[in-house]
Amino acid sequence: MKVRILGSGTSTGVPVLGCQCEVCRSKDPKNHRTRASILITTAHGHNILVDTPPEMRLQLLAAGVRQLSAVIYTHMHADHTQGFDDLRAFYFHTKKPVPIYVLPDYEQEIKSRFRYAFEDTGYIGTRPHVDLRLIPDEPFIIEDQLIDPAPLPHGNVRSCALRFGRFAYATDFKEFSAEQIDAWREHVEVMVASGVHFRSHPTHSNIPETVELFKKLGVKKGILSHLSHEVDFTRDSKTLPESVSFSYDGMVIDL
């Protein structure tokens, strides 16, 4: 299995519009962050996309992606969904709808937000052709990949963490419950999880909290994502434990 970090940034992306801070003016490409998303390529070559951020089209072009087996949405916040319309391009070539998975919490929300894709609104133009499916409460299979979902608190909504065998991805969460930590402990070798920045945050786990989560889960290699412009890749990498690193756009993890 291969994991590609398509986007490593928080909701604003980096650089932030109008900002003149040191990181936003940085020439280091690892400080240039599109909105958070990953691509899982399974052992048999199936591509599973997690979230469709606003830059999805550019991210997938950069990765050379020509087909998708499915999309899994962690939650419905704009920075994780607003590339949805570009899914229509995959129908041009396959003439098959793209399966998309959402938590039951979001079934009506996605149908409402992108209503033109789910019902006849009189829209004239090519719309995304998708097959909406609900993420179950137990592990489920997409093509050859078993996926273990774990809905987590994110303010007044839930975001779905995902475990693909020994790899896990969790974004936009405040914390893992003790029960979820027990369920995943020692089952995750590599994990990509959001950290945002070093300060406390009311709805997100920050960098110290996520590093502590890696320890509790027994993760061998922890990778921080969903990073804000407060994080300088080179400067702040020096503060991390040896087993933890920052993600960056285009990063590839072979498992």
Domains of the chain: 2-252 (3.60.15.10)
Q: How far apart are CA 143 and CA 200, in angstroms?
A: 39
**Amino acid identity of 155?**
G
Q: What does the pLDDT profile of the chain (255 residues) look like in tens digits? A: 999 999 999 999 999 999 999 999 999 999 999 999 999 999 999 999 999 999 999 999 999 999 999 999 999 999 999 999 999 999 998 999 999 999 999 999 999 999 999 999 998 888 999 999 999 999 999 999 999 999 999 999 999 999 999 999 999 999 999 999 999 999 999 999 999 999 999 999 999 999 999 999 999 999 999 999 999 999 999 999 999 999 999 999 999
Alpha-carbon distance of 217 to 132, in angstroms, equals 32
pTM of the model: 0.97
Query: In the structure encoding, which two tokens stand for residue 143, read together?
Result: 């093509």
Write down the pLDDT at residue 17. Answer: 98
What is d(CA 105, CA 109) in angstroms, rounded to the nearest whole number? 8
Counted residue by residue, the chain has a size of: 255
